Amino acid sequence: MKVIIVGNGVAGVTTARLAAERDPSLDITIYSEEPYHYYSRPRLVDLVGGQVTPADIQVYPEEWYAERGIRTVLGTRVTALEPDAHRLILPGGEATTYDRLVLATGARAWVPPIAGADVPGVFTLRTMRDALALRDTAVEGRRVLVLGGGLLGLEVAAALNARGVSVTVVEVFPRLLPRQLDAEGAAVLEERIERSGVEILTGDSCTVIEPNGDAKRCRMKSGEVLEADLIVISAGARSNVTLAQEASIVCARGVVVDEHLRTSAPDVYAVGDVAEFEGRVWGIIPAALAEARLAAAQVAGDESATYHDIVPSTTLKVTGIEVTSIGEVNPETPGAVEVRAVHPQEGVYDKLVLRDGRVVGAVMVGSRAHLRAVNLLMSRGTDVSAHQDVLLNEDFDLLALAQQRTTTRRAPIQADS
């Protein structure tokens, strides 16, 4: 059975690893546009911060692939897909066939329509190449403007700040991490980040980038003008759907998959940042891992396994501040109860979101003391309504409650990371 995987990020390589474990006789080849073996994308931030080298973040040594019989073709973009013929076209017109194909083409950095965003000195961060370019340009004493106060923007800002670069983060929403935090949690985080030396501007956005000698000038929607030596745009990612789209495979934001991760083309699966399941592209590693596990089962012939959506869970560490958000953090429909504990002096904020007496979401800023308890409560579907008012009190043992074996209902699975 000839299996081809397009893309050697976490989704593609994990699919290959698990498929080879299930059936060592599979003939597996991974094609990768990037000229590097699979590396940890989150650790690109450490590379920008100068703490690691490219070799440090390569996940497996070269022999790891050979030992598992996995062939890798690096620096080679798959240019076209012909699903009816079960064929892929490579640069130069060369073709190769497959029995089963896994699209793991991931995503790319999205650049909003800002005039002047395509000039030298404006960066994004998605690939090793991006990270090396940013590391070598954003040297001590320079001024960097980060456009986007989401997870990635804040991590890059912290990494550059630690290297003596002067950093300002601009977030269009009135608060940081709008998808992961509520207003109170974001205020605690903002205060702590500013204490570390990074300047934060919220509720504004850049409309035009202009050259200013060797530097840049950002014209803001508010009318303000910000000066910087270089600009990092961190405005999210978009799935790499072109290969599938040009092959007439059904795509929306991502390549649309069913609960078996099948696309609309026979024997073609999609996983990771390129896959869209039930209208959602998660764009995070826990989802990529959960999908890879299932895709591996499928290509190895176990077609019974089905995919369940994960509970989204993220932990970010900005200048040592841990920010965790799990599940539903900003309830938009009636029926949710929010339980909060705020300790502004220590920069700690906790919130639980309950529905029908069960924890369905949580925000933790400045501490992960409750993380284990929350994960248990959510995965076991424990009814906490009897303790609702005291759940986050300092003298209440949330973990002991979570560890009681009073399982009533299981929540959707939490993928490991």
Nearer to ligand FAD, 46 or 204 (CB): 46
Estimate to the nearest angstrom the gap between the alpha carbon of 362 and the chain centroid: 18
For the four alpha carbons of 281, 190, 51 and 111, in that order, the dihedral sign comes to positive
Nearest by Cα to 2 from 70, 66, 104, 81: 70
Q: Quick one: which segment of 32-40, 59-67, 206-214, 361-369 binds ligand FAD (CB under 6 A)?
A: 32-40
CA distance 226 to 207: 11
Q: Are the beta carbons of 121 and 216 closer than 8 angstroms?
A: yes
Nearer to ligand FAD, 41 or 175 (CB): 41
For ligand FAD, what does the binding mask look like between residues 112 and 131, x meaning CB under 6 A? -------------xx-----
273 binds ligand FAD per the rule CB under 6 A: yes
- The amino acid present at 327, given as its one-letter code, is G
Q: Quick one: which segment of 40-48, 336-344, 364-372, 399-407 binds ligand FAD (CB under 6 A)?
A: 40-48
8-state DSSP, 249? -
Q: Which single residue is written with the structure tokens 């022999």?
A: 63
44 binds ligand FAD per the rule CB under 6 A: yes
- What letters, b where the CB count within 10 A reaches 16 and e where it falls short, cover 42-57? ebbbbbbbbeeeeeeb
Q: Quick one: which segment of 99-107, 208-216, 221-229, 258-266 binds ligand FAD (CB under 6 A)?
A: 99-107
Site for ligand FAD in 140-169 (CB under 6 A): 152
Partner residues linked to 81 by β-bridges: 88
Q: By CB under 6 A, how many residues form the interface with ligand FAD?
A: 33
Nearer to ligand FAD, 44 or 249 (CB): 44
Supply the minimum distance, in Å, between the C-beta of residue 166 and ligand FAD.
21
6 binds ligand FAD per the rule CB under 6 A: yes
Among the listed residues 35, 66, 67, 77, the single contact to ligand FAD using CB under 6 A: 77
Q: What is the 3-state secondary structure (H, E, C) of 128-194?
A: HHHHHHHHHHCCCCCEEEEECCCHHHHHHHHHHHHCCCEEEEEECCCCCCCCCCCHHHHHHHHHHHH
Supply the minimum distance, in Å, between the C-beta of residue 407 and ligand FAD.
28
33 binds ligand FAD per the rule CB under 6 A: yes
Paired tokens of 17: 């690893």
8-state DSSP, 53? -
Grouping H, G, I as helix, E, B as strand and the rest as coil, residue 186 is helix
Nearer to ligand FAD, 159 or 398 (CB): 159
Supply the minimum distance, in Å, between the C-beta of residue 285 and ligand FAD.
3
276 binds ligand FAD per the rule CB under 6 A: no
Among the listed residues 1, 22, 42, 60, the single contact to ligand FAD using CB under 6 A: 42
CA distance 107 to 254: 9
Q: Give the binding site for ligand FAD (CB under 6 A).
A: 6-12, 31-34, 41-42, 44-45, 77-78, 104-107, 125-126, 152, 240, 243, 272-273, 283-286, 288
